[in-house]
Chains A and B, each alone.
Chain A
Amino acid sequence: MNTEQVTVVDDDVLVLRALDRLLRSAGFAVQTFSSAEDFLHQRVNSAAGCVVMDLSMPRFSGLELQRALAEAADCRPVVFISGQGSVPSSVEAMKAGAVDFLTKPLDEQKFLHAVRTALDKHRAAREKDVERAAITSRVATLTMRERQVLAHVVTGKLNKQIAAELGTAEKTIKVHRARMMRKMQVDSLAELVRAWTVIQPPRL
């Protein structure tokens, strides 16, 4: 479970088998589906890897499948492949977060590169998730007071200023701050700020 896998979805079995072989020859673990429905039914939410899918399939187009994945909070990156690259659909696909949009017949180098990029992207995202989870759990161990101190420290305020704002002695703040730093498992203000930014919702 959770080994990195490239999932290929294409309704053309000949193409599906060829891509399966091509990816395996390049050392990837591969899983194939000949229809969007099969893929959606057998999909595992926490699966690691990326998805390579054909843009035009019967009943369920690639774009619809991409949307369905997003709704299911499956954040595996998608590489689209298409028999004919139409500009509007490729724009839509890229907007919805596709890693790449390749036209068939596939250029081997570009294709493998896109798959690698997608895998790297997912791995990085997952690593960030793990880090964020760890930091969030550390924040959860803080007391009310320590959190208040944390919020002020990361904005660059001095202990004296924080004491004034919270209406308490500078000495008390110092104690809170030291305990907070220990619970957050950081040694310097710089490390604390970095951890803090990781758990902030991304600004758009």
Chain B
Amino acid sequence: MDGHTTASALAQLRAPRWLLTALAVAIGYYLAARLGLAFTLKPYPISTLWPPNALMVAVLLLARTRDWWWLLAATLPAHLFAELQSGVPTTMVAGWYVSNCSEALIGAGLVRWAVGERLRLHSLRDWAILLLCCVVAAPLISSFLDAALVRLIGFGDTAYWDLVTQRFLSNVLAELTVVPLVLTWATALVGGVRKPGSRTTVEIALLASGLAIACLIVFDLPHKGEHTSPAFFYVPLPFLLWAAVRFGPLGIATALPVMTVAAIWGAVHGFGPFASQHALDTARDMQLFIIAVSLPLILFAVAIDERERLERDSRAQLTHLSRVATLGELSGGIAHELNQPLTAILSNAQAARSFLANKTADPEMLAEILEDIITADKRAGHVIERLRAMFKLGETRFEPLDVSALVREVATLAHGELTTRGVELDLRLAPQPPSVTGDRVQLEQVILNLVMNGSESMAACPQKDRVLMVRTLATAHKVHINVVDRGAGLSAPAAKLFEAFYTTKPNGLGLGLSISKSIVTSHGGTLWASTRRGGGASFLVTLPRVPPSA
């Protein structure tokens, strides 16, 4: 149930790779510093957006605490290399290294102190802590130190409080832009990003181009600030909202830097609404504007994400509940299914012992016995393995699946119960593997549910007629699973059958079919029920076919 924690992202990078990591961090720091220097409004000494510190906060949050020292150390050469190029005195370069490291340590340290290594990026609480520690506390505290160092070394002649304010705003903006971007992407990449469908791809393209055009028009066209209506600032806002609502924290964390970079680039080159005669005013106005827009949007996206996640979780729990209920009905049959191999193992072993005792054992026969014992043991192990998977409340995992193999798995699991009920399974599986993309456990749950329903509907039939047919078929674009019984047919209109809590069974929850339908729907498929002309019910699952993976 828990999402991927950010700490696990870099934890996978162990000893042999630490050098690579250090190198990557150093290069990242250097590039971020160059970017920060490029965002500096001359003659003003402090950048409008200084990303290296924020990058370090994000890196530390992704790493284990005991790796922090060498990650920070790795940035020293990059810092020296970047800063010394710009002609700053060495003492000041060293001072800034100290204040930059202090910001990273304060931000990441506070977060880790508050939530530990398990920072969950889908909880509103964790995000609030993250923003409070990294966006507010770290820049604020470190700015006092930074300004003090600047004054102590005597670099430039800006007043202490002006230095504090300028550096604070610059770093707040950087933290707000960089930390969510790095953390959401790192988490998404470690967790495995699902390839977007064609509709989603179109939506992303529309959103990205819309946002880019809006930002270009607002921030990067040559019109002076004095003539611009303040309402003009809000043109990118609909696109940002779109990103937040439809793509969650990852979407807004990606969209915000686009606007930020566009705004700063415009301001640095004297374009856009913020451009004015005074570099200080330009920087402050723009920083305040972006901060005021970004903070609520990020929290809004996280709140929506959290709610969606809760909904998904409760749906998953209901699905799991219904699955466990079905397995409960199966328990007698499962005992039978495990007893068979156990019987084979025990009786084989006792036979071998007895052959050995009366000296009639020959190696060939013993080899056969051992072979049978191994087969039986594997069979029991397989049943237990499938059961464990079915009982588990796991996350939905989409993978390529062969539907015929799923049917065979279900047949194995239900074999004991069907035998006890005197139901014969007539499997007619498509010769070429009909492949779909889906969650193995959930699709097996659907098939198992239909098989159990079918076998229950034939309880009143004479045993010779208790035949349940399960067919798989593949057409060019679809895969069908058809479960046909010889019972009395549907007891209610098909639509009613799929309603939640509608049941005809004395002990039924009334969830099986409704959840089966929602599982099939979430796989992009359909589930139909009908009564056959000769009697009996037919359930048809149709799923989109994917070419089998090579």
- A-to-B contact residues, CB < 8 Å: 11-12, 14-15, 17-19, 21-22, 24-26, 56-61, 64, 83-84, 103-106, 108
Contact = CB atoms under 8 A, between A and B. Distances in A.
Contacts of A59: 422, 424, 463-464
A104 B339 contact: yes
Nearest to A19: B347
A22 B347 contact: yes
A18 B344 contact: yes
Max chain A Cβ within 10 angstroms of own Cβ: one of B351, B365, B464: B351
Interface in B358-373: 358, 360, 365, 369, 372
Nearest to A11: B419
Contact of B342 (A11, A22, A57, A104): A104
A64 to B, nearest CB: 7
Interface string B457-486: 000000110000000000000000000000
Contact of B351 (A15, A18, A58): A18
A168 to B, nearest CB: 63
26 contacts: A12-B340, A14-B340, A14-B344, A14-B375, A14-B376, A17-B372, A18-B345, A18-B372, A21-B369, A24-B351, A25-B351, A25-B352, A26-B354, A58-B423, A58-B424, A59-B422, A59-B424, A59-B464, A83-B337, A83-B419, A84-B336, A84-B339, A84-B420, A105-B342, A106-B347, A108-B346
Contacts of B419: 11, 56-58, 83
Interface of B: 332, 335-337, 339-348, 350-352, 354-355, 358, 360, 365, 369, 372, 375-376, 379, 416, 418-420, 422-424, 463-464
B343 A21 contact: no
Contact of A15 (B347, B350, B354, B360): B347
Nearest to B349: A18
Mostly helix, strand, loop or mixed at chain B's interface?
helix
Contacts of B365: 21
A21 B463 contact: no
Contacts of B332: 84
Contacts of B360: 25
Contacts of A103: 339
A15 B344 contact: yes
A14 B365 CA distance: 14
Given A18-B347, A84-B336, 4 more contacts: A58-B424, A59-B463, A83-B420, A103-B339
A15 B348 CA distance: 9
B462 to A, nearest CB: 10
Max chain B Cβ within 10 angstroms of own Cβ: one of A17, A60, A105, A106: A105
A84 B416 CA distance: 10
A59 B426 CA distance: 12
Nearest to B421: A56
Given A15-B347, A59-B464, A106-B347, A22 B354 contact: yes
A56 B348 contact: no
Contacts of B347: 15, 18-19, 21-22, 105-106, 108
A52 B220 CA distance: 90
A25 B343 contact: no
Given A18-B351, A83-B416, A61 B422 contact: yes
B333 to A, nearest CB: 8
Given A14-B376, A104-B342, A25 B358 contact: yes
Contacts of A61: 422, 463
Contact of B343 (A58, A60, A64, A105): A105
Given A25-B360, A26-B354, A59-B463, A106 B424 contact: no
Nearest to A18: B347
A22 B347 CA distance: 6
| 9 residue pairs, one from A and one from B, having the closest CB atoms | A83-B336, A21-B351, A25-B354, A18-B347, A14-B344, A104-B343, A22-B351, A83-B339, A18-B348
